[in-house]
């Protein structure tokens, strides 16, 4: 038996050759690789949150919980521009990149007092309509 193994090693013969149909497969006959399990969104705009991302890509802002579970390294309370968020394909409704206008609308809808939505005095707004965050005692 040892002589057979040595002989096979020296001559380059395989002890258990694969059937010809497995060895002779061409790439054109192989199935295409499966699609990645998740679509990856890169945070581009200030104010993005998991619920806004979920609403755009899945149609349901409540899917933020799934995104949070899928992305444990991302602090859901401190998403920053440049962070990447994996979105499972089984809940994905669109791969169209999320536009800034959508983020702005969502910020205004969920938090009308957000600083991004405020108008500074002198920008043509009525000073009585401007929402200012005051510190200390308020009159």
Mean pLDDT over each residue of the chain, to the nearest integer: 75
Which CATH number covers residue 78? Answer: 3.10.350.10
Strands 38-42 and 84-88, sheet pairing? antiparallel
Q: Is residue 137 part of a domain?
A: no
**pTM of the prediction?**
0.57
Q: Work out the average pLDDT over 60-79.
A: 95
Q: Work out the average pLDDT over 55-60.
A: 97
CA 123 to chain centre: 36
* Number of structural domains in the chain: 1
User: To the nearest whole percent, how much of the chain has pLDDT over 70?
Assistant: 57
Q: Is residue 79 part of a domain?
A: yes
Q: What is the pLDDT of residues 8-47, one digit of tens each?
A: 445 555 555 555 555 555 555 678 777 678 999 999 999 9
Q: Work out the average pLDDT over 94-117.
A: 81
Q: Is residue 65 part of a domain?
A: yes
Q: Is residue 53 part of a domain?
A: yes
Q: Is residue 133 part of a domain?
A: no
Tally of CB atoms within 10 A around 74: 18
**Residue span of the structural domain in which 45 resides:** 38-114
Q: Is residue 55 part of a domain?
A: yes
């Amino acid at each position: 038996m040892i002589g057979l193994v040595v002989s096979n090693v020296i001559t380059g013969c395989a002890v258990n050759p694969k059937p010809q149909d497995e060895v002779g497969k061409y790439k054109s006959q192989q199935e295409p690789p499966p699609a990645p399990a998740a679509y990856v969104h890169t945070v581009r705009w200030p104010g993005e949150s998991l619920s806004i991302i979920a609403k755009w890509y899945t149609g349901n802002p409540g899917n933020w919980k799934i995104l949070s579970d899928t992305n444990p390294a991302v602090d859901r309370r401190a998403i920053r521009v440049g962070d990447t968020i994996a979105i499972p394909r089984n809940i994905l409704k669109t791969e169209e990149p999320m536009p800034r206008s959508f983020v702005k609308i969502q910020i205004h809808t969920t938090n009308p007092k957000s600083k991004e939505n405020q108008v500074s005095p002198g920008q043509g707004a009525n000073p009585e309509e401007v929402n200012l965050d005051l510190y200390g005692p308020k009159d």
